[in-house]
Chains A and B, each alone.
Chain A
Amino acid sequence: MTQGTEAVRTAPAVVVDTTEDPPSGAGARRRRRETWASALRKDWRLYTFLVLPIAFLLLFRYVPMAGNVIAFRRFRPGGSIFGDEWVGFHYVEMFLNDPTFWRVFTNTVILGALTLVIVFPLPIVLALMLNELRSRRFKKAVQTISYLPHFMSIVIVAGFVYELTALNGTINQIITAVGGEEISFMQRADWFRSVYVGSEIWQVVGFGTILYLAALTTIDDQLYEASRIDGANRWQQIWHITLPGMRPTIVVLLILNIGTFLAVGFEKVLLLYNPLTYSTADVIATYLYRVGLTSGSFSYAAAIGLFEALIGLTLVLSANAISKRLVGASLW
């Protein structure tokens, strides 16, 4: 707790409350060394605002975090949520020796990588395309329409996927119209990744442009003027002005995306996969869901979950450190 208060003291707090403490030197010094007792006396009403939210955070965020200890403890149904006895790395060894775990791990990495490589750059491209439009109304219309999928429940998105990929759905109609053979997309493991990435593109690319478009509005118009006078054409302007202007946003979003790399759309996979497509569709999150909640091996599933979360954290921290070094942009 002292760690936190250190930083508070550096903030210029003097302006804020004029009601208390005579403006004597002694008072100012006392404020700099404000104790919890005096802080509580002065700001108790503000602290009452914090009571419920902090209680919420501790109970619903930090207790589950601590609950991860069951990854190292034996859990008995009906017993304590923190488990009954220490078993060390028993469950960790268990999943490291579990071939299914490595299959779902590979699937997760592949789906995550496909999303990162294919889906991540598309909003940048779309934002650049929108930026080249001269008609405001047209731009507005494209934005309004392309944002829409973002507001749809994942269940609806899954419903659309089933609707379009059905044997009698539009996609198969097109395939048969050009002389191809009908494909039962949702029953075939070799199609799952394409279906997943395709639906991801449909849902996130439009809304993903918002932050890039916001970054574009901050680029100084004079840069374009100057470059035009220097004889730059539009391509050179895009390459030398527009893209660099978006770079900090790109970097920050890339870091965030790398951090959630392994947390591939769990809910979407859960809605779209079935035993026929497990070999490509089953990811860490769905596997631990089945192991934990369908089969009841809570400790084993928690060990897998903890492993996934730690990898995610490591990825975010290292991506952040690397970009700080290389590009000078970081999350904090």
Chain B
Amino acid sequence: MVSTTPRTPDISAVRSVPTTVKDSRGYTIFRVVNAVLLVLVCLVTLYPFVNLIAQAFSSQGYIVAGEVNLWPKGFNLTTFETVFGDERFWTGYRNTIIQTVLATGVAMVLTTTMAYALSKRHLKGRSFFIGLVVVTMFFNGGLIPNYLLITNLGLKNTIWAIVLPNAISAFNLLVMKSFFENFPQDLEEAASIDGLTTYGIFGRIVLPLSKAVVATMILFYAVSFWNAWFPAFLYLSDPGLQPVTLYLRNLLAGATGSGVEAGMETVQIGANIQAVAMLLTVLPIICFYPFIQKYFVSGVMLGSVKG
């Protein structure tokens, strides 16, 4: 450390690349330990997935004996056949897709239009409306009043109970608003001189040029709807409407005995069946993940600029 002190500011220090000034021994050791720890972090993160895959391809006997960790034992595909043959699983999957698409669509229409209108600084009443949104970030009605509202509106056991109550996320809305605020004004002005109305400007100029942020928001919403289970648990008692996450939850509740009231037939579910159902549920997300990850990161950054 002290040895680096007498260095005069030579050219290498001017380069913008972080110069590799001689590290102290302590720091070199730190860097090795650091790298090893980070590799460990990755292994711990990935292990549940590896274990899941191993269990999905193993036979129940080996899992019960506690012999399945990293690699399948008693390799077989019959569990997959069992799950594929279960009609409830496919119904759940279909419902998840329908609900995700519909809910994301509704949410995007409401969020983009509102964000665009609120991004116009001259709009009278703007800060009142923004306040209306911000309040919902810090205070919400709570479980019981929400439940009573949905029930009273007659939305129980309809897809709208899933789609409508979560249609606007205040966070997503504010991110979009700040994005639209930075949209080049002269483009919009030029379009309006060319005779486009607000609708035309929004639909033909602003949206097409905001593809990145729109994609990010679609992903935010889609992933949250894809993963949701609790609204369905509350409002959809009809098995024909339940999403796959709820199917999975019922498997877990049956297999672990925490849902004793759930009924006799679910009590003994094989760990391998559970593993296969879980694997098939996360599969789409894992497949898309490498491509969507960067959008998520940029979306969160956009949000953080807003603070």
Please list the residues of chain A having a beta carbon within 8 angstroms of any beta carbon in chain B: 1, 3-5, 7-8, 11-13, 15-19, 34, 36, 39, 43, 45-47, 49-50, 52-54, 56-57, 59-68, 70, 75, 81, 126, 129-130, 132-134, 138, 141-142, 144-149, 151-156, 158-160, 162-164, 166-170, 172-173, 186, 202, 206, 210-211, 214, 221, 224-225, 228-229, 231, 233-235, 249, 252, 259, 267, 270-274, 285, 288-289, 292-293, 298, 301-302, 305-306, 308-309, 312-313, 316, 331
* Contact A305/B144 with A49-B114, A163-B55, A173-B66 known, Cβ cut-off 8 Å: yes
- Residue B204 is within 8 A (CB to CB) of chain A in the complex: no
Write the nearest CB–CB distance from B281 to chain A, whole angstroms.
7
Taking a contact as CB atoms under 8 Å apart, the answer to whether B148 and A67 are in contact is yes
* Contact A156/B278 with A8-B125, A53-B114, A167-B66 known, Cβ cut-off 8 Å: yes
Q: List 22 A-B contacts (CB under 8 A).
A: A8-B121, A16-B121, A52-B110, A54-B114, A56-B167, A60-B146, A66-B145, A67-B148, A68-B145, A75-B148, A130-B38, A133-B38, A134-B18, A148-B289, A163-B51, A168-B64, A170-B47, A170-B51, A186-B258, A211-B304, A228-B13, A270-B230
11 additional contacts, CB 8 Å, given A46-B116, A52-B113? A1-B128, A39-B125, A49-B113, A53-B114, A68-B145, A130-B38, A158-B249, A186-B258, A272-B258, A274-B256, A308-B142
Shortest Cβ distance from B122 into A: residue: A13
* Contact A39/B124 with A60-B165, A61-B140, A221-B16 known, Cβ cut-off 8 Å: yes
Write the nearest CB–CB distance from B258 to chain A, whole angstroms.
4
Taking a contact as CB atoms under 8 Å apart, the answer to whether A158 and B41 are in contact is no
A169 to B65, CA, bound (A): 9
Taking a contact as CB atoms under 8 Å apart, the answer to whether A129 and B37 are in contact is yes
Write the nearest CB–CB distance from A281 to chain B, whole angstroms.
10
Tell me if B's interface is mostly helix, strand, loop or mixed. Answer: helix
Complex partner residue of A155 from B13, B123, B245, CB under 8 angstroms = B245
Chain B 1-42 against A: per-residue CB contact (8 Å), 1 yes, 0 no? 110110101000100101101011011001100110110011
Taking a contact as CB atoms under 8 Å apart, the answer to whether A163 and B167 are in contact is no
Write the nearest CB–CB distance from B29 to chain A, whole angstroms.
12
Taking a contact as CB atoms under 8 Å apart, the answer to whether B13 and A229 are in contact is yes
Shortest Cβ distance from B107 into A: residue: A56
Complex partner residue of B13 from A153, A206, A225, CB under 8 angstroms = A225
Q: Which residues of B have CB within 8 Å of A235?
A: 26-27
Chain B 245-280 against A: per-residue CB contact (8 Å), 1 yes, 0 no? 100110010011110000000000001001100100
Please list the residues of chain B having a beta carbon within 8 angstroms of any beta carbon in chain A: 1-2, 4-5, 7, 9, 13, 16, 18-19, 21, 23-24, 26-27, 30-31, 34-35, 37-38, 41-42, 44-48, 51-52, 55, 63-66, 69, 109-111, 113-114, 116-118, 120-129, 131-133, 136, 138-149, 152, 164-165, 167-168, 185, 189, 192-193, 197-199, 202, 223, 226-230, 234, 245, 248-249, 252, 255-258, 271, 274-275, 278, 281-282, 285-286, 289-290, 293, 296-297, 300-301, 304, 307
Shortest Cβ distance from A293 into B: residue: B147
* Contact A70/B64 with A60-B167, A149-B45 known, Cβ cut-off 8 Å: no
Taking a contact as CB atoms under 8 Å apart, the answer to whether B285 and A152 are in contact is yes
Tell me if A's interface is mostly helix, strand, loop or mixed. Answer: helix
A57 to B6, CA, bound (A): 64
Taking a contact as CB atoms under 8 Å apart, the answer to whether B152 and A81 are in contact is yes
